[in-house]
Amino acid sequence: MKNGTQGFTLIELLIVIAIIGILAAVLIPNLLGARKSATARAGQAHNSNVYKAAIANLADNNTATAATVITAMGGADCKDGVVGTYTVDTAPAGTTSCQITANGTDDFFVDTVMDASGNNKNFRNGKETAAAAPAAPAN
């Protein structure tokens, strides 16, 4: 009497395992790169939102200066978010620093430095910059 059950041979199983290994070797670096890129874009979005909130606060009060708006928003450090009429939540994970500085009386510099998994990125007013952002002046 013959057994009616059949299974896979050892060679077939080894081939499937080899294919899975090759796919993992190709896909894992791409997935890690996508994660780094997503973290950097989250930092860029936070930087842009802080800049837009500062400009909107300044536009709402025509007697305010950039320095008074920075004070009203909770100070120069924007890593923990900003408060006021236009609020922005806490900076995303991987944010090293976020600073708002006055650029004259009616404009701002918002500088954010990201260091997520060795992916160093610097942003100013929502745009990526090549060099590290300057430190905020001491008050």
pLDDT tens-digit series, residues 69-87 = 999 998 899 999 998 889 9
What is the predicted pLDDT for the residue at 39? 86
pLDDT tens-digit series, residues 107-131 = 999 999 988 666 688 889 888 887 5
| Claim: this prediction has a pTM higher than 0.75 | no
Phi, psi (deg, nearest 5) at residue 88: -135, 135
Q: How many whole angstroms separate alpha carbon 98 and alpha carbon 73? A: 13
CA 31 to the chain's CA centroid = 17
Phi, psi (deg, nearest 5) at residue 99: -130, 140
Q: How many whole angstroms separate alpha carbon 56 and alpha carbon 127? A: 18
